[in-house]
DNA sequence: TACTTTTTTTGATAACTATCAAAAAAGGAA
DNA sequence: TTCCTTTTTTGATAGTTATCAAAAAAAGTA
């Protein structure tokens, strides 16, 4: 649990009272590689802090699984859309490694926001942070060919290469596995 | 100014005191088509509420201007990265039409966040909202060919077609102007 | 209106990427 | 290790998109 509070403190200093309130509703979860954290069609009722492990987010399109993000240690994990809107998730979240997570329910989080402004500030800054990361990724992918997208991955998020198989990475980069393989062989 | 508070109230109810505080620091700005709101290399010190008009965000890459977003009435406009991190902007924001905007400075906004939790809540929810919109756009563009991206534009944001010239739209969709023209002619 | 400038379209070609099929390599289990 | 399964690579081909060049259409101005 300490890793979570260390992470939060980088964004917003929590008072002891806020830490106490949050600790009281945190739930430790340990699940195995291959299991699902969230499946499409269900409302995402928890946000998870990933203490150990690695997960992928994917959706089904034309009978194919399209993996479009990965999360690693110290990332927050949820179906953002479903959690925020309370509508059924369109995405699935699956463990790529055995993992240790800490969960907070939607309702508990709203209560924490109401009670502790520092926690709401953390939420605001967290949203800003994730927005900027998504924007950065969007811009790097916009109008760029497959080779450049792969080179951007090597330059900016090389840890993905070390923990995720190429099929998922190709999907993440928006190209087929064959294309990614050829790009690598000609590197 | 009323349009701004109407917009805010859809996300978070503000107390009269919060409205008063915010009104006191709002600055009305009227600028002409073609002018710049933000230019690269400078820190973005204001967030703007676009009451009337239309703007584009673009960056320079390999000697070309890449337009990657548009904003219209009731949108918040800023260089998100620069405003949040206080670092120089990498993007430019230019008026596509004469516009009326309301500006709040970074420092004033931080004070409002400190003083009025409902305003910070608005900020959090706003960030969530923009994150979801960006994610939706990202997913729709991921792994989809030019024709489908154009069809998605027609289906989800047709107002862009009515107010923006095709050259900018092609850039927004991540294709050349020639390709967009051909897609349209074969529609 | 006539003229100028900007925007959009069309044509020809080359480069890039997906698809389908199959082989090779790597990883796991007994 | 050997066998089986999964992952990655290679080959051939077709479809998609960028590029360069130029024409046509539309918009703005005197």
User: Which pLDDT tens digit goes with each residue over A131-184?
Assistant: 999 999 999 999 999 999 999 999 999 999 999 999 999 999 999 999 999 999
B15 DSSP assignment: P
- Name chain B contacts of A47, Cβ cutoff 8 Å: none
Q: What is the mean pLDDT of chain A?
A: 96
- Which of B180, B161, B155 has its CA nearest to residue B170? B180
Measured to protein CB atoms, the chain D nucleotides within 7 Å are 7-12, 16-21
Residues with CB under 7 A from strand C: A 145-147, 174-176, 178-179; B 143, 165-167, 177-178, 180-182, 184-185
Please report, in angstroms and rounded to a whole number, the separation of the first and last CA atoms in chain A.
42
The residue among B141, B143, B148, B174 with the most chain A CBs within 10 A of its CB, best to mutate, is: B143
pLDDT in tens, chain B (187 residues): 899 999 999 999 999 999 999 999 999 999 999 999 999 999 999 999 999 999 999 999 988 999 999 999 999 999 999 999 999 999 999 999 999 999 999 999 999 999 999 999 999 999 999 999 999 999 999 999 999 999 999 999 999 999 999 999 999 999 999 999 999 998 6
Q: Which of B66, B80, B137 sits opposite A131 (nearest CB)?
A: B80
- Which of A46, A36, A7 has its CA nearest to residue A129? A7
Helices vs. strands in chain A: H and E counts, helices first: 9, 8
Q: What is the mean pLDDT of residues A93-103?
A: 96
- Whole-angstrom Cα distance, residue A37 to residue A35? 7
Q: What is the mean pLDDT of chain B?
A: 96
With a 7 Å cutoff on the CB, does B52 touch strand D?
no
Residue in A closest to B80 by C-alpha:
A132
What pLDDT does B63 receive? 85
- Name chain B contacts of A78, Cβ cutoff 8 Å: none
CB B135, CB A81: distance < 8 Å:
yes
Distances (CA, A) of A177 to A162, A173, B14, B179: 17, 10, 51, 26
- Which of A37, A31, A47 has its CA nearest to residue A103? A47
In which band, very low, low, confident or very high, does the pLDDT at A106 lie, cut at 50, 70 and 90?
Answer: very high
In which band, very low, low, confident or very high, does the pLDDT at A7 lie, cut at 50, 70 and 90?
Answer: very high
Nucleotide with smallest C1' distance to residue A176 CA: C18
* Cβ pair B128:A171 closer than 8 A: no
């Amino acid at each position: 649990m300490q890793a979570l509070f260390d992470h939060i403190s980088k964004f917003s200093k929590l008072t002891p009272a806020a830490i106490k309130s949050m600790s009281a509703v945190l739930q430790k979860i340990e699940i195995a590689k291959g299991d699902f954290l969230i499946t499409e069609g269900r409302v995402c009722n928890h946000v998870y802090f990933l203490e150990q492990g690695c997960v992928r987010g994917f959706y089904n399109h034309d009978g194919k699984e399209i993996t479009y993000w990965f999360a690693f240690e110290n990332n927050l994990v949820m179906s953002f859309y479903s959690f925020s809107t309370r509508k059924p998730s369109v995405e699935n979240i699956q463990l790529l490694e055995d993992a240790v997570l800490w969960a907070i329910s939607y309702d508990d989080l709203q209560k924490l926001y109401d009670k502790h402004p520092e926690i709401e500030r953390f939420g605001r800054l967290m949203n800003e942070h994730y927005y900027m990361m998504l924007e950065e990724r969007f811009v790097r992918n916009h109008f760029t060919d497959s080779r450049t997208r792969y080179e951007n991955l090597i330059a900016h998020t090389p840890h993905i290469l070390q923990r995720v198989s190429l099929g998922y990475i190709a999907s993440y980069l928006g190209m087929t596995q064959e294309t990614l393989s050829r790009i690598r062989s000609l590197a």
